[in-house]
Chains A and B, each alone.
Chain A
């Protein structure tokens, strides 16, 4: 039986309500309301338990609308053991096996191009630039699987505002480290190295676009893109560049790794879109790892990965079938 459309709470409203609820339960809003939430609900929404593997990275729950998905979290062992990070091998288990060689300290990020304040940022300064927030995002891989991950970081916009882009800056490019000494598969012919990704300026400035330094309350494991990475939850996972060493502002749309490798399969935008199939497979459904059982049916993929209320207006009037 389908509910009548009049019975459905508009998504924005529902999400705002959920965000408020989650914030309240996680402590930031509880005092203002002057009431304690029931114990059961509090436990269900308790702060993410830390896996205890890496250094903790404390954060408060994010207040950005849509930043706290209510989906069940993916197990840490799956999120840190099943990765696409081709610099460490193309098999999903390769990054976890090989990424221990990555040296994340010292680490710097170069800000280049059309900004008033270009320069080299040390990781410590980036960590201190803005308060850390926990955000629970759905992650949809272009291959047809998905996870739900509690990231720690802050909106990329915080950094962008600090470096003062010029009016001519229309795009932001993100460049991943490509060090053949520590990344054994840099040099393989799968992709052009270094791995580069890009966003339009308004996408980069969107509050949901996250500069992440941690996950599950701890610093990022190397295989997940330590020490800092991008997370753009409404785009396919490969748009979220890992282990970033350079952020460049430009007037022209930057060339991106997968677009260069197979332009007919991977567009610049690569927004999650169940209506636009990959040339070789449908994108209408996805398997939520750890939740949709081995023999279970896949779940329907949501437009913009369920972030349509927050980001849909960025693409108003665009033909998303052409600009995939």
Chain B
């Protein structure tokens, strides 16, 4: 009964704009906090970390869509997938901009030196580059042009992206050997990926 009403809500016309607005809340928070000087002593660092964390969280939400859809029977959830995927790309891009302009002051020659020094930056960059073709082929016509099978196999790259994102986070925190939060996200994403593997091999 409850599950069915949730499913109806997901299918309702207002559901998508609602999710869209919800997904923009972190951005709205940063902008408001920035203008009110409410990001603490080191706002640049707060933005850099915040945008990274929300990219990871968006990725978690995205990966949750298919398992939830199947487990709960919420078939309407499929409507949200493309938008959520694009939000992952959007936050990853904002995170990248924060790295380039807030962390590295937009000095590209410094960035070229920084990347080999900090392999976790390279891992993050790789994840962003992999997201790019997915974002570029996110419209309906692309599926027709590419053929559904090829399009699907391209978009499976998101699983690799998720693993790279966790590795990026792990490596960043390794400096302080602070892995509690990393373990939480790794476990969450791990469960969602294992669920997919099991489904694939049980067919």
- Chain A residues within CB distance 8 Å of chain B: 75, 77-79, 81-82, 86, 90, 92-93, 145, 189-190, 261, 277, 279-282, 285, 287, 289-290, 294-298
Partner of B101, one of A190, A261, A277, A295: A295
A92 and B41 contact, Cβ closer than 8 Å, known pairs A277-B117, A280-B117, A294-B102: yes
Closest to B120 in A: A280
Pick the contact of A289: B41, B47, B101 (CB < 8 A): B41
In the assembled complex, B200 has its CB within 8 A of some CB on chain A: no
The number of residue pairs between A and B whose CB atoms lie closer than 8 Å in the complex comes to: 53
Task: Please state if A78 and B177 are interface contacts (CB–CB under 8 Å).
Answer: no
Interface residues on B, range: 20 to 34
Roughly how many angstroms separate A59 CA and B114 CA in the complex, as a whole number? 44
Q: Are A287 and B44 in contact (CB-based, < 8 A)? A: yes
Shortest 10 CB-CB contacts between residues of A and residues of B: A82-B41, A78-B41, A297-B105, A90-B178, A294-B43, A190-B177, A289-B41, A90-B176, A280-B118, A294-B44
Given A189-B177, A294-B47, A295-B101, A281:B114 Cβ within 8 A:
yes
Residue among A82, A277, A281 with the highest chain B CB neighbour number at 10 A: A281
Contact A289 B105 (CB under 8 A): no
Question: Which one of B42, B44, B176, B177 contacts A82 once the chains associate, using CB atoms below 8 Å?
Answer: B42
Question: A92, A145, A295: which contacts B102 (Cβ < 8 A)?
Answer: A295
Choice from A261, A281, A296 contacting B118 with Cβ under 8 Å: A281
Closest to B104 in A: A298
Query: Which residues of B lie under 8 Å from residue A79 when comparing CB positions?
Result: 41
Asked whether, in the complex, the Cβ of B102 is within 8 Å of the Cβ of A82, the reply is no
Closest to B44 in A: A294
Q: Does B175 contact A (CB under 8 A)?
A: yes
Q: Which of A279, A285, A290 contacts B117 (CB 8 A)?
A: A279
User: Could you tell me if B41 and A81 are in contact, using CB atoms closer than 8 angstroms?
Assistant: yes
Measured in the bound complex, the distance between the Cα atoms of B177 and A190 in whole Å is 5
Nearest chain B CB to A279's CB is how many angstroms away?
7
Evaluate contact between A287 and B42: CB separation under 8 angstroms.
Answer: yes
> Does B40 sit within 8 A of A, measured CB to CB?
yes
Encoded as 1 (CB less than 8 Å from any A CB) or 0, chain B from 25 to 53 comes to 00000000010000111111101000000
Within B143-178, the residues touching A (CB, 8 Å) are: 175-178
Complex interface: chain B residues within 8 A of A93 (CB) = 40
In the bound complex, how far is the Cα of B102 from the Cα of A93, in angstroms? 20
In the bound complex, how far is the Cα of B42 from the Cα of A298, in angstroms?
12
A sample of 15 more A-B contacts (CB under 8 A), given A81-B40, A90-B176, A190-B176, is A82-B40, A92-B41, A190-B177, A280-B117, A280-B175, A282-B110, A282-B117, A285-B105, A290-B41, A294-B43, A294-B44, A294-B47, A294-B102, A297-B105, A298-B105
Whether A145 contacts B176 by the Cβ 8 Å rule is no
| B113 within 8 A of partner (CB) | yes
**CB-CB < 8 A to B177: which residues of A?**
189-190, 261
- Residue from A92, A190, A261 within 8 A of B40 (CB atoms): A92
Q: Which residues on B sit within 8 Å (CB–CB) of A294?
A: 34, 39, 43-44, 47, 102
Residue of A nearest to B107 (CB): A297
Contacts of B39 on A, CB cut-off 8 Å? Answer: 294
Chain B residues with CB under 8 Å of A81's CB are 40-41
How far does the Cβ of B96 sit from chain A's closest Cβ, in whole Å? Answer: 16
Query: Can you list, as one digit per residue, whether each of B91-119 has a CB less than 8 Å from chain A (1) or not (0)?
Result: 00000000001100100001001100110
Q: 10 A-B contacts, Cβ less than 8 Å apart?
A: A81-B41, A82-B40, A145-B42, A279-B117, A281-B118, A287-B44, A289-B42, A290-B41, A294-B39, A297-B105
A226 to B195, CA, bound (A): 50
The residues of A that contact B45 with a CB separation of less than 8 Å are: 145
CB distance from A276 to the nearest CB of B (A): 13
A-side contacts of B42, CB under 8 Å: 82, 92, 145, 287, 289
Shortest CB distance B125–A (Å): 16
Separation of A322 and B113 alpha carbons in the complex (Å): 21
Bound CA span A79–B110, Å: 29
Interface residues of B in 39-96 (CB under 8 A from A): 39-45, 47
